[in-house]
């Protein structure tokens, strides 16, 4: 077909061709109402072989349906000299003279108008369940966007060595705790995609909405500018909405992360346009990415009845060896020689060791008896935490800062963490495989549902009183950078894995479509 388009369309454009084309789209292609869909199902069969499938096409000149795959529509076009037919599934128009699907501006406009009408009609019918038509309508550039595209013809290419998205942050006075979390959030893939596609619809005053500021921050990070960004507006909004973080004293990065997610969650709206004020029933972008479900099973030692609760979480805080909280042994009265049935040497503790401890059954003792709903008496019990629902981004907080009545200190125990993590052993569904805190793991190389990849690590150097936060972030596969406020430097995987680790961010390798 020539660049000028199909020359055979003009033969069809006579008399009431627009109205005729609209009727075909309304009745046989998009079928917005239940009545037209029923009519389409009954009448749209090949007039030669009676088949429903095989890519049915309708002749544009007469009411004749025939299948494309068996070339029955081709035979009709040749015998009747009707050169144009329409695909009844996708709405494309085929020219038998050009032997190709064609584009015509007027026809395309009619197709889009009728498609929108059908989607709105379907959406109205299914409003109680899901606004299909409104939610999945096609994107079309506005006049302003077309103007911007014309004035900016240069397209940015994302290559394996591209550093777009990497940008330093000026320290505004002990604000490294904020800068390191901002670096982790701006390199969270789904959060980046959300903000860079202008998905946030704000109903607050823009100068007081943290989500609007984060959206602007993402624009700054991915603008291509290399000079360090000054996050003064973000700091002001944090002070406004999380007053316990106000001031120029050094704050805890983990505390800032939770506060930031909480404010973002409150300022977001879910997909139904309702403000996100219930963490248990929210579909805002923060909860979609960061919220998981933690299952708590309390088992009565008398009747073995189990009471189960499931609570949402944004992160998992893990105890470390060296803390005043007993870490090893894992069972009451043990000698510390076994770790979930495995021998525990004096070597480095792994993240999976901390997770095993976190999900092991814990005897609550005689001083913490609960009233059992099964035997209706106060009994000793055991409690076990497992993962009922995994978040897309799993954040692990290694409890390095200990605050108690007796002491305040930092725990510097090295904890090794992997680039790839399988959370299957710590799922509630795996609990049946646990016997007395022991998990016999079976390797299933084809089960990728619970596998994660490391993409950010927040570190703390120094003491409890005087310290500094930095972040390692993954830019591309196996390509890491160290973010130290305004300074960004290349880092090796060994640098990342040898670091002390305070906050570990893992992203799911495979996402399920819901």
- Active site (catalytic) residues: 176, 468
For 233, the enclosing helix (H) or strand (E) is helix 232-241
Backbone φ and ψ for 77, nearest 5 degrees, come out as -65, -40
C-alpha to C-alpha distance for 63 and 61, rounded to whole angstroms: 7
Structure tokens at 348: 């480095």
Q: How would you classify the pairing of strands 393-398 and 316-318?
A: parallel
Burial of 33 (0-12, 13-18, 19+ CB in 10 A): middle
Neighbours of 297 (CB within 10 A): 17
What count of Cα atoms within 13 Å lies in the side-chain half-sphere of residue 354? 25
Q: Please provide the size of the chain in residues.
A: 514
Contacts 24+ apart (CB under 8 A), 62-67: 65/28
C-alpha to C-alpha distance for 199 and 186, rounded to whole angstroms: 15
Map tokens 């996402």 to a residue: 511
C-alpha to C-alpha distance for 392 and 510, rounded to whole angstroms: 9
Backbone φ and ψ for 427, nearest 5 degrees, come out as -85, 155
For 372-406, b where at least 16 C-beta lie within 10 A, e where not — what string?
beeeeeebbbbebbbbbebbbbbbbbbebbbeeee
Identify which of 315, 298, 502 has the alpha carbon closest to the alpha carbon of residue 414: 502
- Angstrom distances, CA of residue 26 to CA of 34, 116, 174: 12, 11, 63
């Amino acid at each position: 077909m020539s660049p000028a388009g199909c020359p055979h369309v003009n033969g069809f454009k006579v008399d009431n061709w627009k109205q005729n084309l609209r009727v075909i789209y309304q009745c046989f292609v998009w079928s917005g109402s239940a009545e037209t869909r029923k009519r389409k199902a009954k009448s749209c069969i090949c007039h030669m072989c009676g088949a429903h499938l095989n890519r049915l096409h309708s002749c544009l000149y007469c009411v004749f349906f025939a299948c494309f795959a068996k070339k029955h529509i081709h035979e009709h076009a040749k015998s009747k000299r009707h050169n144009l037919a329409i695909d009844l599934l996708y709405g494309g128009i085929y020219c038998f003279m050009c032997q190709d699907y064609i584009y015509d501006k007027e026809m395309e406009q009619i197709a889009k108008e009728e498609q929108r009408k059908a989607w709105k009609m379907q959406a109205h019918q299914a409003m109680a369940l899901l606004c299909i038509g409104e939610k999945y309508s096609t994107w079309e550039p506005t006049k302003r966007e077309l103007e911007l595209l014309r004035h900016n013809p240069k397209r940015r290419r994302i290559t394996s060595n591209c550093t777009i998205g990497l940008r330093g942050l000026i320290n505004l006075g002990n604000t490294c705790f904020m800068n390191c979390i901002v670096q982790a959030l701006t390199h969270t893939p789904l959060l980046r995609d959300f903000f860079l596609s202008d998905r946030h619809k704000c109903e607050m005053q823009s100068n007081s909405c943290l989500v609007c500021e984060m959206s602007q921050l993402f624009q700054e990070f991915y603008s291509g500018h290399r000079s360090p960004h000054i996050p003064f507006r973000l700091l002001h909004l944090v002070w406004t909405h999380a007053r316990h973080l106000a001031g120029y004293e050094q704050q805890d990065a983990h505390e800032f992360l939770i506060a930031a997610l909480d404010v973002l969650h409150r300022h977001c709206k879910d997909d139904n346009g309702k403000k996100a004020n219930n963490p248990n029933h929210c579909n805002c972008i923060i909860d979609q990415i960061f919220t998981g479900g933690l299952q708590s099973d309390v088992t009565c030692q008398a009747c073995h009845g189990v009471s189960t609760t499931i609570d949402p979480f944004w992160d998992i805080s893990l105890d470390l060896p060296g803390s005043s909280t007993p870490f090893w042994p894992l069972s009451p009265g043990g000698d510390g020689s076994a770790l979930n049935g495995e021998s525990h040497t004096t070597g480095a503790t792994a993240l999976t060791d901390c997770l095993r401890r976190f999900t092991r059954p814990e005897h609550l003792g005689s001083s913490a008896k609960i009233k059992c709903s099964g035997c209706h008496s106060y009994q000793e019990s055991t409690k076990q935490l497992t993962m009922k629902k995994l978040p897309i981004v799993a954040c692990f907080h290694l409890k390095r800062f200990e605050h108690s009545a007796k002491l305040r200190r930092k725990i510097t125990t090295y904890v090794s963490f992997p680039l790839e993590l399988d959370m299957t052993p710590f799922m509630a569904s795996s609990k049946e495989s646990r016997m007395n805190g022991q998990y016999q793991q079976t390797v299933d190389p084809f089960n990728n549902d619970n596998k994660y990849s490391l993409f950010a690590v927040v570190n703390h150097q120094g003491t409890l009183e005087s310290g500094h936060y930095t972040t390692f972030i993954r830019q591309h596969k196996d390509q890491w950078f160290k973010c130290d406020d305004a300074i960004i430097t290349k880092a090796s995987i060994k640098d990342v894995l040898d670091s002390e680790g305070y906050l570990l961010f893992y992203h799911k390798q495979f996402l399920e479509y819901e």
